[in-house]
Structure 1
Amino acid sequence: MRFPLFIATRYLVSRKKQNAINIISGISVTGVLVGTFALILVLSIFNGFDQVVRSLFSSFDPELKILPASGKRFEADGATLKMIEKTDGVAVYAKVIEENVLLKYNEKTHPARIKAVDNHYMNVTGLDTMINRMAPEQPKNGQFCIVGQGLSYFLGVNLNFARSIRIFAPNRESSLNVTARNAFRQNYIIPSAIFSIRQEIDEKYVIVPLEFASELFQTGNEISAIELKTHPHTDIDEVKADLQERLGPDFVVKNRYEQHEFFYKVMKSEKWAIFLILSFILVIASFNILGSLTMLIIDKKHDMFILQSMGADNKLIRKIFIAEGFMITFVGAITGLLLGFIIAWLQQTYSLIKISTQGTLIIDAYPVDIQAIDFVWVLVVVALIGFIASYIPVRLLTRRILK
Structure 2
Amino acid sequence: MESPLLPSINTKAIAFNIPYSLLYKNMKKTARLLNSKRDEVIDQWEKEVLQQVKAAPTTNKIALHDHVPNILDDIIEILNRHENTDDYLNDEKIHHIEENSIEHGRHRATSPNYTVDQIIHEYMIFHNVIIKVLHKNDITEESLFHLIKCSIDKAVLNSVSSFTESIQEMQSKLIGTLAHDIRNPLAAARMGIEMINYEAGKERLEKVKKMSYNSVNKAIELIEGLLDSITVKAGEGIMLSFSEMDINENIQTVYEEACEVFSEEIILDKTDEPINGTFDGTAVRRLLENLITNAIKYGHSEKPVVIKIKNEEEWLNISVHNHGEPIPMDKQEGIFTFLHHGKQQREKKLKSYGIGLTLVKMVAEAHGGSVALRSEKGFGTEFKIRLNKYSNVPGKVRTLLNTEA
TM over 0.5: no
Instruction: Give the TM-score category using the shorter length.
Output: under 0.3
Q: What is the TM-score of this pair, normalised by structure 1?
A: 0.26
Relative contact order higher in (CA < 8 Å, ≥ 6 apart) = 1
Structure whose alpha-carbon radius of gyration is higher: 1
Q: What is the TM-score of this pair, normalised by structure 2?
A: 0.26
The structure in which a higher percent of residues are helix is 2
